[in-house]
Amino acid sequence: MYAVLCATSEEMTALRAVLRTEGEAERHGPTAVWRGRFAGEEIVLAQAGIGKVNAAAAATLLLSAFGARGLIFSGVAGGLNPALEVGAVLLAERLAVHDYGIISAGRFTATDYGVIPVGAPELSTLKPVSEEVQGALRRLARTLGARSSISPRLGGIVTADYFLNCGQTRDELHERLGADAIDMESGAVAVVTQAWSRPLYVIRTLSDLAGEDSHVTYGEMAAMAARNSALCVEALLEILAEPPIRGL
């Protein structure tokens, strides 16, 4: 069974419009869960709520209580790469939490998540996902590029517990880490799935460009961005339901 997560009600509305679910939501603390079926297999959809704590709690619930063999995170993100426009779909081949680290002499230094920050090297690169996940995401990009108007690209996503509304910080994150987008959940879910040795597939559509007007474009574009991601989830589930293809 695969489990599909999102953070917001707009993202869940888009997922439920694309994937069939049954009945009312089950409540598990802060997480709302719907059950459904896809290609003859059970799936669950979970709305975690916004932020790293909510996302990690939901991911743990789905892996432990529901026995999910893999997680898909679907939703929106802020763009960091100037080559990407609002509406662009990004498939995460690299992930990291970038607001974990140490403050010393008035300066914050990001480090890898979960290590003791004192003496740890500064975070300089995002962590690649597994070859299994990369292969499925590459196939998804080719499939959608050939049959729909959605043309996803693979890239890097950083996670932090803030909404980015600053062009200067946006440009610095892109330049320093090579990140293409920023969100508030994916990196935390990656930490959980790594601990459980389960795959994580992250699909994000840009709702804004993380600059000084991003709070305006987010409100206007969130529903469209969430729907693009949900359509990609449907295509990904089709791929995951098929036998593996060698060489991907």
Q: Which residues are catalytic?
A: 11, 208
Which residues is 103 bridged to in the sheet? 108
**Distance in angstroms (rounded) separating the CA atoms of residues 93 and 43:** 23
Element (H, E) at 198: none
Which residues is 206 bridged to in the sheet? 77
Distances (CA, A) of 176 to 18, 157, 173, 187, 207: 37, 13, 5, 17, 22
**DSSP track, 87-102:** T-EEEEEEEEE-S-EE
Q: Buried b / exposed e across 64-90, counting CB within 10 Å, b at 16+?
A: eebebebbbbbbbbbbbbeebebebbb
